[in-house]
Structure 1
């Protein structure tokens, strides 16, 4: 197999759009697109110069690989609807390759948050974990990833699970805290841009791997007076409990580290 191989995509969401575009630009030929949302499927197929098919079972087996780009919960059930005898890969960080029905299977997992705003960004310099059932398919997936500009590395299911857990803290949890921060400012009619320097410092610590040494703030110092003032400004009981929990966790975590 080579980078010019023929690939068909199952899925019409953010990952299907992002990966489909990146694969096309890397030199792959996207043959067909299948998905339960016909409107999105036809649009994606048109964007990729591919044919839209209404059912997964009707996909042509005259391709080199099927990219199963659906939600984690749907990967296994969708995979078993795909014509047999063709390699399959998915892009989930938490789902094992063995959930795919094909004999030759793999995973191409980009360590990147894929949303509507990042669909067209591509995967240049993005770490991409590769898992495959045999060396030939591993080589194929590595070539795909590298052609997309990604930093490919081998990651079995156990390794991916650990990295995925870390990614949840880095991206999902941190982004939730930033969302709460922005809500607090907006509710007070203040500019969210006031947090720019802090957000940049947070990102810098993540890139350099020295976030622990950058921890400051009232929880780290044990400033209970300031914490009480903060709590008085919060109006949601859930957010108050969240603030208390994080403050306690920060204090205890760094007490153990000191």
Structure 2
């Protein structure tokens, strides 16, 4: 076994590898695996966090999700994975139901793939998603207006929230920035989190569609715990370790291939 005691670069490289594969690390476990003190591990994690490689949490660290960029730019990232995820989401949409399409580029990919003849009511707060859904003759579209936050890609302010509070949904396609098996779904923006929390309480079924690089990561504000989510749809780049951890939760996980 390699002696990591006097080689901080090799130690941190190994920690990066574990973070990439598993999404999180625990100080006590790393101390045993690398045969160094927990103090040394905490120092390594502090340096890695300062470099942006991870976020420190109690007892260890978690990997960082992709940085926040504007909606239009996000739509071009991981496009192939989002298309595959969208194809897996489509069969989950129930005919004649009322479905809320939350903001998000993966939900936009879903909106672009609605099959002919699928009849339902779509409610959304994203003008881009609303415009996409309007082209389908069998889809009734209800748009919740308000001040649009460009980074989020939709309206999430108090006016929009008040409209949301007057409605109930059979299903919602909930967007997010990161997902962790213990902490659930999280986002970067406070107002976005509050809007999504309300959406969860108004929905009978909550579907979260995320690319695998957002799984086993955390951002600032929690939206929903695992037990508040009905189904998680992701792509086949999810690690076996993440799949194993998620399988222990009472959560239906669909892998788009």
Q: TM-score range by the shorter chain?
A: 0.3 to 0.5
TM-score, normalised with respect to structure 2: 0.35
Larger Rg: 1
TM-score normalised per structure 1: 0.34
Higher strand share: 2
Higher fraction of helix:
1
